[in-house]
Structure 1
Amino acid sequence: MKPALHPLEDDRLRELRRYGILDTDKEREFDELVEIASEICEAPVSVINFIDDSRQWFKAEVGLGVRSTPLETSLCGHAILQGDYIEIPDTLDDARMADNPLCTGDPGFRFYAGSVLKGPSGLPLGTLCVLDHKPRELSEHQRKVLRVLSRHIMRELDLRLALDQEQTLRREVDHRVKNSLSSIGALLSMKARRETDLAVRRALEDASGRIRSLSALHAELHELDGDDLVGLKSLFMRIESDLRQLLPDGIVLAITVSDDRVGPRLANSLVLIVNEFIANSAKHAFGSSSGSITVDIEVRSGRLTLVCRDDGTAGPTEAERAATNSGLGTRVIHSIASSMGMMPQWRASGRGMELKMVGAVASTAN
């Protein structure tokens, strides 16, 4: 008997395709789940499958050897219409499967148990199932394992979907910020060309230059993706040039970086930390006076040493405040450092602030 369509079939298929799981490559984390289900349920066949419009497609399988079968012979096509869990001790005693060639053949599937995979709306997408060539029943423990593993599968798929959506949103926000900065810079340049007062024109040109530098820095921060290694020296030469344009007159910036190539995740973390330290120093360290900010970065044999200093007026009180994450900038630095498995060290004695981070990193990987 061919499985009937779900009452909300169009909605169900729409939700299935939203996950983008169909026709993806085999993955070890899913392969391991069917192996666990097969072993614990003592079943020769175990499958993670999704019911498409004309086929059932297998993300992972043990004991089957194919990636899809026609919907006409799908056992799971019946299962997704039956609630959260279905168990059929003998398929030849079930009217829906008694004439199915997968059950009547030799060796046919005489036993079926499946836990339905459901999306957030409750619509069924497929099953995690086990099959055997002889009639039987599962124990309560085995049934519980199938249900737990099916929930784990959906949590993994939901997490992947959320990450994809977050990345899409990030790209859209980046695009909008880039366009906004470009528009503001162009508007300031236009006003500067039309301004007859020399002092005002210079102020507008300076603001336009700072906006262009900020736009370039934004691009640097958000282009560090993919698997290619990043040259730290060339990266921070560009970052230094952009940041200098944003600093007030009288503040000198010097960044020294070892000539290492690292993964984009580490490079991005270093850029964000350095940017936050420099921004905090420019705002709070010097008042109306001049000063200097130095940054030293070295990655050698999988070990990072990062030292950021300014020669402003910070003392022990400011260092303690930084160590307790009292400001947004220091919270950002601590959060990034924590993701790197490091603890920022803050020190100040009245002649400026120092941030130091030392620890092991994957110097040539993400």
Structure 2
Amino acid sequence: MPKPAVIIDNGSSFTRAGFAGQKKPKFVLRTVSLHPCSTGTTWETQRHPTTAESTEGFAVAPRTYPLKHGIIEDWDGMENLWSHLFFCGLKVLPEEQPVLVADCPSCPSTNREKLAEVLFESFGVPALHIANTGFLSLCAYGRVTGLALEVGAGVSHVTSVCLGQTWREATYRLGVAGGFLSSYLHSLLMESPNEPSVLKALKKTTVIQLKKQCCYVSMDYEGDLHNQGYHHPARFQAPDGHWITLDKERFCCPEPLFQPKLLHQSSPGLHHLALQSLQKVPDHARRDTVGNIVLSGGSSMFPGFPERICLELNALFHSTGCQIQVLASPERGTAAWAGGSMAASLTSFQHAWMSKGKYQEHGAGYVHKIFQ
């Protein structure tokens, strides 16, 4: 029986990996640049709290991230991260198992070629598949047609997909995501009545934890902003023991997803980009696309986010008579990885692999011919 494919989703914040057919990734690693270090030296990596594997033989370059806005920029650091992932995290030999890699919708075509080159030549994988995260997010919901709204750590995307084919002209990128919202929350708190010295001492990881535990999306931002009675303060205890009180910051933090101008960005909000994407979809596919709008990414997990995006889209589509429904799985934070796991486990998917022989025969450019 052939070994299951390895599924890798490289996120700006975390890289998730596991095997086809599994519901959850086996290994989650913070996406930082790893570099080989001297034999016998053990370094502690910045990693997800649930990951306990050693990083012996690898060093973390402080505050260096191989991905920026979902696009790989440091290939050496990424190659070493994958090496740690294969040998230490998953404990597999990459030359023995096919690999499916998720890439973001706005990746330049050259990234896919480089990805194939590294995995075939440096790791010797027997077969490779590269899939758009928007398509994989839909797969996680059991769809191959629809609109994926992905809100991650480094970048957000709106992607229309029809029968597994991504509409490139209907794909939009939004430069507002989790990392930007964390910075925005910190700046909002600096203007609050909390003790400035306490706020200045907050680590980035603490701000992220505060954001996840206390923030939510308002259904009426302007109303909540101007009506003090609608505010529901929350208290958060920092690791140093100090208490921080959040008032309007709770719902102001995620609002730039709908109003990027709050971060001094000229882009339309996520709901307007969704409308633009749907308007680019051919008429014959639009109804099915509208009927399958799905959410994915860790920054889509704010309480109230699914309801707000549904409210905004229905307001935009009011004149069309369409009633919008948004699908929001409780596991949507890892939807792209789960979709890859689901797709690669199907018998019908097995013809979709690019073999090492095909790579050697046609070169890295062959990825554009067989992967959409």
TM-score (norm 1): 0.24
- Greater RCO structure (CA 8 Å; 6+ sep): 2
Whose Rg is larger? Answer: 1
